[in-house]
Amino acid sequence: MNKTIENKLLHFFTSGNIYEDFAEARVKKTAKFRRVIRACFYIHCAAAAISIALAAAMHAGAGIIAVSVCEVLLTALAFLAVGDMILLKNLLYCGDIIFAAAMFVTGALSDIKTPFFTVGAISVVTALCALASFFAANFKIFLEDFSPLCLRREHYTLLPNFNSEQSENIPDMPDEPKIVLPPAKTEMQELADRLKEILCKPKTETKTETEYSENRIQEQPQPQTEVLQ
């Protein structure tokens, strides 16, 4: 899920009781999503009844049976999709789209176009409702599974009369490090810096190679020679 959508879903207002206010806001939001899911189911039921009645009233012929069977199956699928099974919700809006396309194609090929086009248009509306139910279910599941221990400062807004001491337990998200680049130097500045390094470089006494070799010879132990008498 998009990070921006997650922050909007989690955002709530608090006066200092972070976890209690989050729990209360979550209950209200999940209740709204449940109402959306139920409303989409009722729309499916009403759309099925209207589609069957239109097909029968406009004398769609054998199309009445096809429309009735398809609408009953889609209504049963909508009833099963009221729960939190995302797979059924995917099947529901896909089924609505396929049924709407079939009605438009049938209306284009049939002599009686109006009932099939009307049923197809109703199916497009039910497909949009099924898609809304799909997103509402995903949002509801996300909120219900979210742990209050994962709350961050960006997830809530403190009201003016809040107690700041009660919000100290909520960790803030670390800020991204800001890299400040030094201003670019001109060629004259670089030349001046190099000249400064050469002139200000401390002088150190170094031994020449000859002195170093002489010192090495002096440090070596002298061989002892026997005096012949």
The H or E element that residue 170 is part of is: none
Query: Measured between alpha carbons, how far is 146 from 5 in angstroms, rounded to an integer?
Result: 14
Top-confidence residue, 172 or 27: 27
**pLDDT, average across residues 73-78:** 91
Q: What is the pLDDT of residues 143-155, one digit of tens each?
A: 998 888 888 888 8
Identify the pLDDT of residue 219.
52
The H or E element that residue 158 is part of is: strand 156-158
- Cross-strand partners of 14: 158
Q: What is the pLDDT of residues 114-172, one digit of tens each?
A: 888 888 999 999 999 999 999 999 999 999 988 888 888 888 888 876 555 444 555 44
Q: What is the DSSP letter of 154?
A: G
Query: Measured between alpha carbons, how far is 48 from 71 in angstroms, rounded to an integer?
Result: 5
What dihedral do alpha carbons 19, 22, 27, 33 form, nearest 10°?
-150
Top-confidence residue, 121 or 193: 121
Reported residue count of the chain is 229
Instruction: List Cα–Cα distances, 152 to 2, 104, 147, 149, 164, in angstroms.
Output: 17, 50, 11, 9, 15
102 close to 119: Cβ distance less than 8 angstroms: no
Q: What is the pLDDT of residues 42-61, one digit of tens each?
A: 999 999 999 888 888 877 67
The H or E element that residue 190 is part of is: helix 187-199
CB atoms within 10 A of CB 128: 15
Burial class (CB in 10 A: 0-12, 13-18, 19+), 28: exposed
Q: What is the mean pLDDT of the chain?
A: 77
Query: Measured between alpha carbons, how far is 61 from 144 in angstroms, rounded to an integer?
Result: 48
Identify the pLDDT of residue 226.
44
3-state helix, strand, coil in the chain (%, to 5): 70, 5, 30
